Amino acid sequence: MLNIVLFGPPGAGKGTQSKKIIQKYNLIHIATGDLFRLHLSNNTSLGIRAKEYMNKGNLVPDNIVINMVEDKINNSNNVEGFIFDGFPRTINQATALDKMLEIKNIPIKQMLALKVEEEELIRRIKNRAKTSGRLDDQSEEKINNRIQVYNNETKPVANYYKEHDKFSEINGIGGITEIFDELCSIIDNL
Ligand code: AMP
């Protein structure tokens, strides 16, 4: 079982690279941001609860995110592995994920972290805003808040995986194929 956490700040290219990785390795994509957006567009009670946090660029409370991920894992059968994209974003989420996977004896193999400087992130998100339709991409204030939230609450999650010897960092600046090839060369050696 190939379970991977694809990590990085907003705009690092996690979504783009995940799509390529799931195709090549036949993995299930668990992207919590996408799942929340789906709930939002379907107007579910979960979507309504998540909305106020998402639109400000703040994190949705851990218990809501963790339950949603657990459901998704439990409803996926006969899988070759999962790629987690945008999750875990707090240490609490990381320990909860470990517990969920431990019970099933399918631990995370590696965190792959995309490294991109802040200026480039802001440039990419502003560009994405033209087509994404995402409210949280639309204002500089919201973009900056998401980067702040990443620095304060999410970055420490990398240390958690470093401490468990499950951390690799990749340069997230360059061509999509070039970055993908680098990710694959790490995955192939796991
Ligand atoms: P993303 O598409 O990953 O940028 O996520 C969009 C928004 O969804 C985030 O700014 C948060 O409000 C919410 N979100 C997504 N994943 C998580 C998570 N793991 N923990 C808390 N909030 C999340």
Mapping DSSP to helix (H, G, I), strand (E, B) and coil, where does residue 82 land? Answer: strand
Element (H, E) at 5: strand 4-7
Q: For residue 162, what pLDDT band results from cuts at 50, 70 and 90?
A: very high
* Buried b or exposed e, range 104-120, using 16+ CB within 10 angstroms: eebebebbbbbebeeee
Q: What share of the chain is helix, strand, coil (3-state, %, to 5)?
A: 60, 10, 30
For residue 57, the ligand 1 atom closest to its alpha carbon is 10
Mapping DSSP to helix (H, G, I), strand (E, B) and coil, where does residue 139 land? Answer: coil
Residue type, 98: D
Q: Is there an atom of ligand 1 within 6 Å of 33 CB?
A: yes
User: What local confidence, expressed as pLDDT, does residue 15 receive?
Assistant: 96
The tokens for 127 are 């560009």
User: What local confidence, expressed as pLDDT, does residue 33 receive?
Assistant: 97
Q: Is there an atom of ligand 1 within 6 Å of 8 CB?
A: no
pTM confidence score: 0.97
User: What local confidence, expressed as pLDDT, does residue 44 receive?
Assistant: 97
Pocket perturbation via mutation, ligand 1, pick of 16, 56, 62, 89 by most ligand atoms within 8 A of CB: 89
- Interval 61-114: pLDDT, tens: 999 999 999 999 999 988 999 999 999 999 999 999 999 999 999 999 999 999
Expressed in angstroms and rounded, the spacing between residue 154 Cα and the centre of ligand 1 is 11
Mean pLDDT rounded to a whole number for the chain: 97
For residue 149, the ligand 1 atom closest to its alpha carbon is 10
Query: What contacts 177, CB < 8 A, 6 or more positions away?
Result: none
- Interval 23-69: pLDDT, tens: 999 999 999 999 999 999 999 999 999 999 999 999 999 999 999 99
Expressed in angstroms and rounded, the spacing between residue 136 Cα and the centre of ligand 1 is 10
Owner of token pair 């409210």: 135
Q: Is there an atom of ligand 1 within 6 Å of 46 CB?
A: no
Task: With CA atoms as reference, report the closest residue to 157 among 65, 46, 73, 22.
Answer: 65
Q: Which domains does the chain have, with CATH numbers?
A: 2-117+156-187 (3.40.50.300)
For ligand 1, atom 2, name the residue with the nearest CA: 33
